[in-house]
Structure 1
Amino acid sequence: MAVIPLAAHFHGDFVIKLLPVDSGATMDEVAAAAAANSVGIHVPDQPGRTLRVRKQGADEAFPRTSTVADSGLEPTECVEIYFE
């Protein structure tokens, strides 16, 4: 698989971060990677709530088991991560 750099905006964080992810990573794995850089640092944890990923500006989140390759996201494209 290939490493894809995504711009990740975690809801509540004031910084958009470059997030390198594997093209075979699921959206749950992308959310977990983004959370490692924001939750407990700039964003308070929300135990029991599910993290979701959507393309910036989209109304709906990607399915949690879909992969980065399945999503059609391009390098440096921005995704939003949020607690559902």
Structure 2
Amino acid sequence: MATIPLAVHFDGDFVLKLLPADSEHTMDELAAAAAQNSVGVHVPDQPGRTLRVRRQGDARPFERASTVAAAGLGPTECVEVYFE
């Protein structure tokens, strides 16, 4: 386990946030951690919709069970989190 600081842009939020992510966290866990900093603060909740994570600029999201390490995300790399 290693901590990897990621820049996170949550869709609809105007603030890019630095999030300490564990290398073994799944994308679902990463999305949940990012949501704690944005949903209900700058972004309205959307119950029943799934959170997804993708590398900034990519069209397709990571697999939900993929880990931060398996995705090859490096320090301060930017990911986008959004409701699907």
- Shorter-normalised TM-score: what interval? over 0.9
- C-alpha separation in 1, matches of 2:63 and 2:22: 17
- C-alpha deviation, 1:58, in angstroms: 0.1
* 2:67 match: 67
- State how many pairs are aligned: 84
In the TM superposition, what are the counterparts of 1:1-84 in structure 2 within 5 Å? 1-84=1-84
- C-alpha deviation, 1:48, in angstroms: 0.1
Residue by residue over 1:33-56, the C-alpha shift from the partner in whole angstroms, topping out at 9 and shown as x without a partner, is 000000000000000000000000
Which has more helix, going by share of residues?
Answer: 1
Query: Which stretches in structure 1 are left out of the alignment for 5+ residues?
Result: none
- C-alpha separation in 1, matches of 2:57 and 2:36: 23
Q: Give the TM-score, by structure 2 length.
A: 1.00
Q: Give the TM-score, by structure 1 length.
A: 1.00
The 4+ residue runs of structure 1 with deviation greater than 6 A are none
Residue by residue over 1:4-48, the C-alpha shift from the partner in whole angstroms, topping out at 9 and shown as x without a partner, is 000000000000000001000000000000000000000000000
Superposed CA RMSD: 0.2
Query: Which stretches in structure 2 are left out of the alignment for 5+ residues?
Result: none
